[in-house]
Amino acid sequence: LFITHAYGLSTEVWCCPINMIKFSRTVVGMLAIVCAMVFASCEKDEKELKAPEYEEYSARYEVTTPSSGIQSVEFTSAGNYIILEDNGYRGDEEGNKVSGKKARFIQAVSRLQNTRAYSNIIEGSYTIDADGNYVLDGFGKIKVVQKGGNVYSLVVIYPDGSEKTLEAAKKTQYPDSVMTNNLCRTWDAKKVQLYCKIDKYKFDETVDVRDYPNLVKKFVKWVSSIGDFEDGDIDEGDVEIDLLPQQVIFSKAGTYMVKYLNNSLAISTWAWKNQDEGILRYSWNYDDMDDYDEAGIVRVAFKGDGMLITESLLDDYDGDDDEDDDYYGDFRMDLTWHFVQ
């Protein structure tokens, strides 16, 4: 899932006239991060939002100094810093794919420790001092010096006064556009919406994020009421409140990060598939945007000052072509997460 696959709701649904379609998908862990276009009733609002406070300071630097212990240093437009150490990773807790589960947009990864280091990913907030240096809360300062072209030096000044200089290359960022500028900031998870349509039957409920476990139970009860099931056909799984997302951060360097209520963290990458339509591709495999198990598609939309992200719970369904409708017929299942600034 785009947000997480920490929870699992597995259903097998048989309903006429679509009794040739067997639905068995992970349902619960999906978080839609940028879309309000799942349902035709959602309006698309392309008003450009106010730029975040540190927009001009946002950048990601790929460290080139051998044996430095650091892969990259990133500063987001919303005032977050992300330092990925050499043995840091994106993915599950061991850095591997999760067997038998397709990753979605929101996916819990490593635990937050007292040092705010997530399995060798260090994250926190920053400000800018009078000299233009980055002041990293709980870490120290970083002075960025351009040496020519795309080559930079990062002078790390630790709280004890010691220094380390890293050579780095600045990663190319996505160019300014209304959609990119609106997306790349910090978003707080507010509500979650589960929509399912099977022939003439429809389920459509929106609740506060913390009420998501009850939403799943209500959905399971609804599915049971419209189909002929045997024991074991529907399993709502274990939905833990503290594994639900509380915040999502996007950067123009292609990074997105998810923070959870239990202080765990997930970090991976994103790219536009069709910016005009708000279709975004994500991957937990940082080196492969087309990895079937670790990548997927969501739809992003903005309404007022909020953001909606929708992901289909049907594998490979994005509503972007007629083949989707030919295959799934009158059957849809989407999860939309509502975000506010």
pLDDT of residue 74: 97
For the chain, give the secondary structure using H, E and C.
CECCCCCCCECCECCCCCCCCCECCECCCCCCCCCCCCCCCCCCCCCCCCCCCCHHHCEEEEECCCCCCEEEEEECCCCEEEEEECCCCCCCCCCCCCCCCCCCEECCCEECCCCCEECCEEEEEEEECCCCCEEECCCEEEEEEEEECCEEEEEEECCCCCEEEEEEEECCCCCCCHHHHHHCCEEEEEEEEEEEEECCEEEEEEEEHHHHHHHHHHHHHHHHHHCCCCCCCCECCCCCHHHCEEEEEECCCCEEEEEECCCEEEEEEEEEEEHHHCEEEEECCCCCCCCCCCEEEEEEEEECCEEEEEEECCCCCCCCCHHHHHHHCCEEEEEEEEEEC
Identify the band that residue 34 occupies on the pLDDT scale cut at 50, 70 and 90.
Answer: very low
The token pair at 143 is 């002075």
pLDDT of residue 98: 36
Average pLDDT, the chain: 76
Least confident of 105-114, 251-260, 274-283: 105-114
Whether the per-residue pLDDT at 267 is higher than 70: the answer is yes
Average pLDDT over residues 320-339: 69
